[in-house]
Amino acid sequence: MKFPWLLIVFFSSLTNFAKTNGEIGASFIFGDSLVDAGNNNYLSTLSKANIRPNGIDFKASGGNPTGRFTNGRTIGDIVGEELGLPKYAVPFLAPNSTGKSILYGVNYASGGGGIMNATGRIFVNRLGMDVQVDFFNITRKEIDKLLGPSKGRDHIMKKSIFSITIGANDFLNNYLLPVLSIGARITQSPNSFIDDMISNLRNQLTRLYRLDARKFVIGNVGPIGCIPYQKTINQLNEKECVDLANKLAMQYNGQLKDLLAQLNDNLPGATFVHANVYDLVMELITNYQKYGFTTASEACCGNGGQYAGIIPCGPASSMCEDRDKHVFWDPYHPSEAANIVIAKQLLDGDKKYVSPVNLRQLRNL
């Protein structure tokens, strides 16, 4: 064959292209218990998942609990794997969140955390979104020390994805708390509270942009009125959901979509991806059998009531054997099997669920 060296150069170029374009440099994860990978393990808090049987299907830990509020991987874990990261984003508060490990990404998410600083205070301690951004500022400086300012900026701006999954606790563990306790309903209307949420989130995302974040994916609030906890305490049937909780989520979601459109227009070089978690999870709940599940109402791990939805998952909980057949792992959080379905749509789905681009397209921008 003539010119074999041309083929060598050609395939070598393809290989190098795959290395630089087929994976992201880092995944920086912000949010609540849906994506917490263990930060709450290091807090004195009532919101913890570092007890069995949480993590029973998490292969990387040999089935031991890690602080993830599910039986296996979170959506953040799955997305990172699919986008080419060789390691999971390390929890910021973990002892090993130092040195080169942070170049693959850091997880700042915290069970009980919210957009508003008051959210989740019933758990005593948690990391709200403002604190999580403060912590990323620390990481940002460390990356400059490791790579130098120029390469550090490129690593953040061009090779990293920032995912934010937050807002549900602002309703469940703030606004919707009983009026006679510490819920924000004592002093605010729904419109006023949601306006404050959007204003705070705008400031938080803008702060990340000023720290060189450019590729964002922001999840809206899911159908929180349909989780087993809400169904159980409100004594609903299998097909019913709590109307007020879902209405608040949808009102916030509408304003969030507008906010992300504004940020896309006003922050040069940034891409804000809208992840329509509400419709995606509602589709999963409504048509669960289509996806291979046997129930979208009953928690696999929990106790109390018709849907095992009152007592959180722990050593004394009852646990189903067919964990991959339950949409919900515990009274609040999806199972790994449900997380896989959700992550797949965010990675490769169309604009119904993720826009203006999906996460594989975002990676390659």
Please name every residue paired with 31 in a beta bridge, in sequence order, or none if there are none. 165
CA 103, CA 59: separation in Å to the nearest integer?
A: 23
CA 37, CA 32: separation in Å to the nearest integer?
A: 10
CA 156, CA 214: separation in Å to the nearest integer?
A: 8
CB 45 within 8 A of CB 128: no
Report pTM. Answer: 0.93
φ/ψ of 89, rounded to 5, equals -60, 125
DSSP assigned state of 171: I
User: How far, rounded to the nearest angstrom, does the alpha carbon of residue 204 sit from its chain's CA centroid?
Assistant: 16
Catalytic sites, residue numbers: 33, 330, 333
Nearest one of 170, 207, 181, 215 to 27, comparing CA atoms = 215
pLDDT for the residue numbered 185: 66
pLDDT for the residue numbered 171: 97
Look-up of token digits 């007890």: 51
pLDDT for the residue numbered 187: 77
Residue 5 in domain: no
- Domain holding 148, by residue range, is 25-278
Question: What are the 10-residue block averages of pLDDT along the chain, 365 residues in total?
Answer: 37 36 82 98 98 98 98 98 96 96 97 97 96 98 98 97 98 84 72 98 98 98 98 95 98 98 98 98 98 98 94 95 98 98 98 98 95
Nearest one of 216, 188, 234 to 275, comparing CA atoms = 216
Q: Is 299 helix (H, G, I), strand (E, B) or coil?
A: coil
Residue 362 in domain: no
DSSP letters of 3-44? -HHHHHHHHHHHHHHHHHHSS-SEEEEEESTTT--SGGGGS-
Residue 283 in domain: no
CA 340, CA 174: separation in Å to the nearest integer?
A: 29
Nearest one of 350, 148, 130, 166 to 256, comparing CA atoms = 166
User: How far, rounded to the nearest angstrom, does the alpha carbon of residue 337 sit from its chain's CA centroid?
Assistant: 15
Residue 360 in domain: no
Residue 3 in domain: no
Domain holding 263: CATH number? 3.40.50
Residue 260 in domain: yes
Q: How many CA atoms lie within 13 A of 110 on its CB side?
A: 32
Residue 254 in domain: yes
CA 49, CA 99: separation in Å to the nearest integer?
A: 26
Q: How many domains does the chain have?
A: 1
Residue 250 in domain: yes
